[in-house]
Chains A and B, each alone.
Chain A
């Protein structure tokens, strides 16, 4: 085990909230999100998601929790052998959705994020910004109850970045809790929402305490 990246972090996010997770590079934003999307469990401390203690949850129970969470990974994590459409369809297929529904839903969403002409493109033929949009589409295709986005606009220009923040805000309006990790102060200033600030591994916002969900 390396040095402890996160410590003395206590906060609560209520259902329906829209939060930024801000902090300088290396502050531990990605690490905190990884804990929240259950890619790892904390070495100590308590995390409760949707009312379930993550440390106590068994492997099988994690599946149900993960299906309520949509994640935009900082490095996208698209599957290189699958088309944009198949990448976005993955969460639906994995959950056993019907193929006919998948086709229409996915094409519509891809058109919405401006990738109508790239539906069958493989990730390697897409630009960084295009890949990021595929990653975002994959995270929201299931209309998750919690959306965790790690620097989701890092590779997008102002206009597209704003458009995708709009998408997150629309999702938030219909009930999705949104947490966006970013080090982009402009983004926060233009679209104000409550902030969770991480600095040297500690939480600095004082209105926070407790649980997610």
Chain B
């Protein structure tokens, strides 16, 4: 049975060959990593939020069409509404029909013009929302053609064009945020390359001695590799704690705003797991980078 003290003792003995913990790069690296992980987690959260939003924009709203019925002089609105509902009821692919009440229409207009600014005699179109069965092939154009034969002054509107543009915009933002994550990763790699080189030149004498007593490059590189992994992990944990605190705060604020436009901060388990993986991935990247850099630098030594 090995007691914990002996464990710590063994760890200390086997890792202390190069005094890496005391040099400047080792003190500075965890803070840089904390900052990078913090930014990466926030950017990645942005990607996740945008991704689910874009998906919703693409899928959710495409299944609805809106029929607009303009008032026609000398014809009863009620009769025309009844006719439209009859016609729609016979069209294949129409799942559900909902006539938007006049006050709701007024509300919609008032959002644009401001409350009280809508003239009483403004001819308001009546709106009918339709749910379209997915895969039915029913489009705004085909429906309009169908209805116009029996009803003048009717038009059909889908929000698709607007939503497509929104989705495009969302996707560009998503790519941008991903690019930011990649850039942060590259910056982390560059930082590790720089600090490893610095560490090798600081400890050149010790490394030369290790070589002379028969150390392989791999043995020396392992020291840098382990150090980079530990520092990466330490910085990463610090970074993700701050990032999660920030996200929690944002979520709290968003929930108090109570607006449908505020996007959900992802709560899916896999999303949280992905975010939690950031410090692990960062420390792995640090470890691999340190190893490759150290081996390359050591190969230049006599």
Contacts and interface: CB of A to CB of B under 8 A. Distances in A.
Contact of A99 (B10, B208, B299): B10
B216 A39 contact: no
Interface string B180-223: 00000000000000000000000001101111111111010000
Interface residues of B, number: 22
Interface in B103-145: none
A91 B216 CA distance: 11
Given A39-B208, A77-B205, A93-B17, 15 more contacts: A38-B212, A41-B302, A59-B299, A63-B215, A66-B213, A71-B212, A79-B209, A82-B16, A86-B13, A91-B214, A93-B14, A94-B214, A94-B219, A99-B14, A142-B214
B302 A86 contact: no
Interface of B: 10, 13-14, 16-17, 19, 22, 205-206, 208-217, 219, 299, 302
A81 interface: yes
A138 B214 contact: no
Main secondary structure, interface of B, reads helix
Interface of A: 37-41, 59-60, 63, 66-67, 71, 77, 79, 81-82, 86, 90-91, 93-95, 99, 138, 142
Contacts of B216: 60, 63, 94
28 contacts: A37-B212, A39-B212, A39-B302, A40-B302, A41-B302, A59-B217, A59-B299, A63-B211, A63-B215, A67-B214, A71-B213, A77-B205, A77-B209, A79-B17, A81-B22, A82-B16, A82-B17, A86-B13, A90-B17, A90-B210, A91-B213, A91-B214, A93-B14, A94-B210, A94-B215, A95-B214, A99-B10, A138-B213
